[in-house]
Amino acid sequence: MCFKKLLLLPALITGVCLFSSCEKEKIDESVTLSIQATSQENVIDYTEFTLQLKELRTMKSVKKKLTDKGACELTLNKGTYTISIEWKNGNASFFGTMENYSVTKSETLNIPLTRTISQPTGIIFKEIFFNGETNSGKMMHPDQYFVLYNNGDATVYADGITFAVSLHANWSEADVFTELLPGEVVAAQFYSIPGNGLQYPLKPGDSLVIARTAINHHESYENAVDLSGADFEVYEPDMPAQFGTDVDNPDVPNLIAHFSIWGIFNMHPRGPLAPFIFKPETDMKTFMEKNKFSFKNKKGETQYTYKVPAGLIIDGIETGNEGAVKVKSLPSSVDKGYITVTGCHRQESIRRKVGANHKLIDTNNSSEDCVRVKGQTPHPKKGAKTKSGAVRSVVNGMSYDKEFPGGIQEFAGSSWNVLH
């Protein structure tokens, strides 16, 4: 009996030792890993960023949220891991990864993140008012505007979206500008929404109003509307003197004016210059250097403008004057049809039709998707009474209605006048 007890004692001791060894081994296998996200972008809050670690032997994963400063500390077993950090919202994302990283000790690990902004799919024109109206018997269009709408199902960022019009006027015959179709569209102007890429989110069903001048035009002109509540406006303090001087609404952010072949923002009141929006894949300076386009004007001089690859165009509407459309300015991939106004200064707007579930109809055919309506949509300042702003002050005794003359013979607002 005693002999049996003596035999059991070493076995018991051995078991205790083995158990202790296992316990010690587990402690040795655990390390503390401190993760820190880094970015060249100015990220204010990292709390929605997700950290994922996958152990490559067991393929087990763990996910954690970062702190507002981009940090995360966790205890894990030694091993080889794929470590990644990701954030995604609509067309914007941040991502950083370290593949096959061997974790052998407690340490702090910095993971650099790269920001990616993809094309903001889903943004379309909801309404465009370029036509102008008659006030006190004078033809004018002080209250031009257009509305962008998120027709998709995810939040997208409007930063960098660029507004342009075609340089070819579709009441003209085919010319040097239409030779680039359908692959490229020759543009007459570029005006971009500002931002750092993540500054102007647009949720599904939300709109952005861009005004030529964001003031209450109705206080000065009976048939104009209040645009003081616009989200953005065009401000051009250095416009050519013959167009007068511009005013700025300090409460409304300005579009970035990159260039205009006329030296001023232009939407022709008869609509022959088709409006479209796009977003360059690079910064605007690089894009313009790459897409410079030269042509001979009516004086035989070489003139420069820019072309836009059709694949970058987010949306466009082939507008025009009724009975005058000859050669379209936009490729069929952007707009298979066209929509017209009956003449200049008729107070006519172009609007998208509304389909099911409050979605706007967008089949890339404005003949079917859009409708011409009488009247503009006011966009007053929210939460406050609108105040009268100074309208454009004009020079040399020029009347306000002649700042943007509407006829093809009066204004170099078409390829007809540029080339002939």
Are 135 and 223 a contacting pair, CB within 8 Å? yes
Tens-place pLDDT, residues 43-84: 989 999 999 999 999 999 999 999 999 999 999 999 999 999
Are 103 and 79 a contacting pair, CB within 8 Å? yes
Task: Give φ, ψ of 248 to 5 degrees.
Answer: -120, 130
Same domain membership, residue 400 and residue 315: yes
Confidence of residue 31 (pLDDT cuts 50, 70, 90): very high
* Rounded-to-5 percentages of helix, strand, coil across the chain: 15, 35, 50
Q: Is residue 67 part of a domain?
A: yes
Are 93 and 157 a contacting pair, CB within 8 Å? no
69, 97, 117: which is the final residue of a domain? 117
Same domain membership, residue 190 and residue 268: yes
Same domain membership, residue 220 and residue 187: yes
Q: From the CB of residue 299, how many other CB atoms can be counted at a distance below 10 Å? A: 6
Does position 408 have pLDDT exceeding 90, yes or no? no
Q: Is residue 14 part of a domain?
A: no
Question: What pLDDT was estimated at residue 93?
Answer: 87
Q: Is residue 4 part of a domain?
A: no
Which of the listed ranges 95-99, 112-116, 121-125, 254-258 does the model predict with the highest average pLDDT? 254-258
Does position 394 have pLDDT exceeding 70, yes or no? no
Same domain membership, residue 396 and residue 264: yes
80, 99, 117: which is the final residue of a domain? 117
Mean pLDDT across 315-334: 95
- For residue 312, CA distances in Å to 82, 110, 131 come to 35, 35, 27
Question: What pLDDT was estimated at residue 28?
Answer: 56
Q: Is residue 2 part of a domain?
A: no
Same domain membership, residue 53 and residue 188: no
Q: Is residue 355 part of a domain?
A: yes
Question: What pLDDT was estimated at residue 419?
Answer: 58
94, 117, 140: which is the final residue of a domain? 117
Same domain membership, residue 108 and residue 165: no
Picking from 126-140, 309-323, 339-353, 385-399, which range would have the lowest pLDDT averaged per residue?
A: 385-399
Q: Is residue 217 part of a domain?
A: yes
Are 87 and 69 a contacting pair, CB within 8 Å? no
* Total domains, the chain: 2
- The CATH number given to whatever domain includes residue 63 is 2.60.40.1120
Same domain membership, residue 168 and residue 43: no
Question: What pLDDT was estimated at residue 169?
Answer: 96
Same domain membership, residue 350 and residue 401: yes
DSSP states of 79-123 as a string?
EEEEEEEEEEETTEEEEEEEEEEEE-S-EEEEEEEEEEE---TTE
Are 114 and 97 a contacting pair, CB within 8 Å? no
Q: What is the mean pLDDT of the chain?
A: 85
Range of the domain at 56: 30-117
Same domain membership, residue 109 and residue 229: no
Confidence of residue 142 (pLDDT cuts 50, 70, 90): confident
Same domain membership, residue 286 and residue 192: yes
Same domain membership, residue 294 and residue 199: yes
Q: Is residue 8 part of a domain?
A: no
Same domain membership, residue 106 and residue 242: no
Q: Is residue 155 part of a domain?
A: yes
Indicate the pairing of strand 256-260 with strand 189-192. Answer: antiparallel
Total-model pTM:
0.75
